[in-house]
Structure 1
Amino acid sequence: MTVPRLLALAAIAAVFYLLGTRHDKHRLERMRIRAQQAWHDPKLKKARSKLFKLSKKNAKKIDKAVHH
């Protein structure tokens, strides 16, 4: 099993564990709130914007290299 598959499997197992335990619903809610706060953080918004622009730029370069 490759490392990315193993990590994905571990993440899925963790999510189902959290969803399955009644005691951890509060913890899951706190994690959801933290994730939303992180998503709306100005520094992360700027980083996402830079990555989006970089991916568009590289996609164009790759497309041009493949088709020429």
Structure 2
Amino acid sequence: MISKRYEKGSIILTSNKTFSEWGQVFGDEVLATAILDRLLHHCEVVPINGNSYRLKNRLQAIERDTDVA
């Protein structure tokens, strides 16, 4: 998918993994490097730091369920 979209259109991608962890995610350092090379060629990286909004809501739901029981 990345190769087909390369220099043909925009891609918005979010991840909770650092670039250095992508080799583990894909199980292949060479593949991860090729994907990152294409993704980062004409990109703007916007790091978002902070707690996960979804995780926060999930933890609140668990706490409510625990309080009820």
Q: Judge same fold: TM > 0.5, yes or no.
A: no
TM-score by length of 2: 0.32
> Rg bigger for which structure?
1
TM-score by length of 1: 0.32
Q: Indicate the structure whose relative CO is greater, using CA pairs within 8 Å and at least 6 residues apart.
A: 2
Compare the two structures and name the one with the higher helix fraction.
1
